[in-house]
C-alpha cells in the first residue's frame, strides 16, 4: 500500500492568532497511540486551550483535546493527557531559553498530516494587550471595506 504524500491540515488554532503575536514557527512530531491517530484522521482534535511546556528537557503539549476514537475500546486514552512533542534537543533548548529570558509562550498553531505522520506547528508567541487586539480587528475591518469597494467599482 503506497504512502499518501503531501500535507493535509486537520486542525487550526484561530484563538492563538487573536490572542498572541507569533514570533517564530516550528514543526514538531507527536508521540501518539493508534486510536488517537485514527481520531485525528477523523478531525476530532481541539487546540483552543492548548499550550506547550518544557519539562526535564522534553516538550509537552497540554490541554490539546483528542476525542476518544468511537470504534476503540480499552485502547482509548485520556483525551487531554499531555502529549510529548518530538523535536531536536537543541531546538527544545532554544525554545526553553527564549521562554525563560523573554517571557514568551509556546502555543500549538495547527495539527496536520505530512506523509502519514502527525505533525504540530508550534509558535513562539508573545501575548497581545487589549489595545493590540482592537487595533488588529480595526485593520481587518478596514481591509474588508477596501476590498468590498474595489469589488463594487469593477
Q: What is the pLDDT of residues 27-65, one digit of tens each?
A: 999 998 888 888 888 888 988 889 999 999 899 999 888
pLDDT mean across residues, the chain: 87
* pLDDT for 84: 92
Residue 140 falls inside a structural domain: no
Enumerate residues 6+ apart whose C-beta is below 8 A from 29.
85, 86, 87, 117, 118, 119, 120
Q: By residue range, what is the domain housing residue 97? A: 7-128
For residue 75, the domain's CATH number is 2.40.280.10
- Give the C-alpha separation, 112 to 124, whole Å: 18
Residue 153 falls inside a structural domain: no
Residue 123 falls inside a structural domain: yes
Amino acid at each position: 500500500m503506497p504512502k499518501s504524500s503531501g500535507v493535509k491540515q486537520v486542525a487550526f488554532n484561530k484563538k492563538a492568532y487573536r490572542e498572541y503575536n507569533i514570533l517564530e514557527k516550528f514543526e514538531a512530531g507527536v508521540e501518539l497511540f493508534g486510536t488517537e491517530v485514527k481520531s485525528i484522521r477523523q478531525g476530532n482534535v481541539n487546540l483552543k486551550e492548548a499550550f506547550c511546556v518544557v519539562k526535564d528537557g522534553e516538550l509537552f503539549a497540554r490541554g490539546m483535546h483528542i476525542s476518544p476514537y468511537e470504534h476503540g475500546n480499552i485502547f482509548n486514552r485520556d483525551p487531554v493527557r499531555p502529549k510529548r512533542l518530538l523535536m531536536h534537543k537543541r531546538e527544545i533548548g532554544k525554545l526553553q531559553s527564549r521562554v525563560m529570558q523573554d517571557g514568551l509562550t509556546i502555543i500549538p498553531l495547527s495539527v496536520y498530516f505530512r506523509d502519514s505522520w502527525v505533525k504540530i506547528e508550534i509558535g513562539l508567541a508573545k501575548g497581545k494587550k487589549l489595545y493590540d487586539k482592537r487595533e488588529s480587528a480595526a485593520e481587518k475591518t478596514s481591509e474588508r471595506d477596501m476590498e468590498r469597494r474595489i469589488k463594487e467599482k469593477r
